[in-house]
Amino acid sequence: MTKVTFYQNSDQKCIGFIVEDHSGYGEEGEDIVCAAISALVINTVNSIEAFTNDDFTVDTDEESACIHFKLESDPSPECHLLLNSLILGLQRMEDEQYTEFIDIIFEEV
């Protein structure tokens, strides 16, 4: 199961996330759930880099299927929107038909 933890500040704004593990939906290279999660996450990170001035760090480990993203400060309105879009996409996946393959957690930091 893929575990996604979103880190939120006291204003409930997302300031980072970590995505861990393979979903287990299918064989490696043919797992549509992992592919969808990866596409949403990578597009979000790329969009934040291209369309905002927010500073962040990203650490990845392909072997363990781990991506850790952390903003250096509170998100700009554009970054906040992009992160909320990621949350929406992943929650819809979790709620609709892939509940046993993705787990979304929110933590205040």
Give the domain ranges of the chain.
2-108
The answer to whether residue 10 scores a pLDDT higher than 90 is yes
Give the residue-averaged pLDDT of 57-85: 95
CA distance 21 to 108: 22
The strand pairing partners of 18, in sequence order, are 5, 68
| pLDDT score recorded for residue 17 | 98
Domain 2-108: which CATH number of 3.10.105.10, 3.90.1170.50, 3.30.70.1490, 3.10.310.10: 3.30.70.1490
Q: What pLDDT, on the 0 to 100 scale, is given for residue 63?
A: 82
Question: What is this structure's pTM?
Answer: 0.94
Q: Are 97 and 37 in contact (CB under 8 A)?
A: no
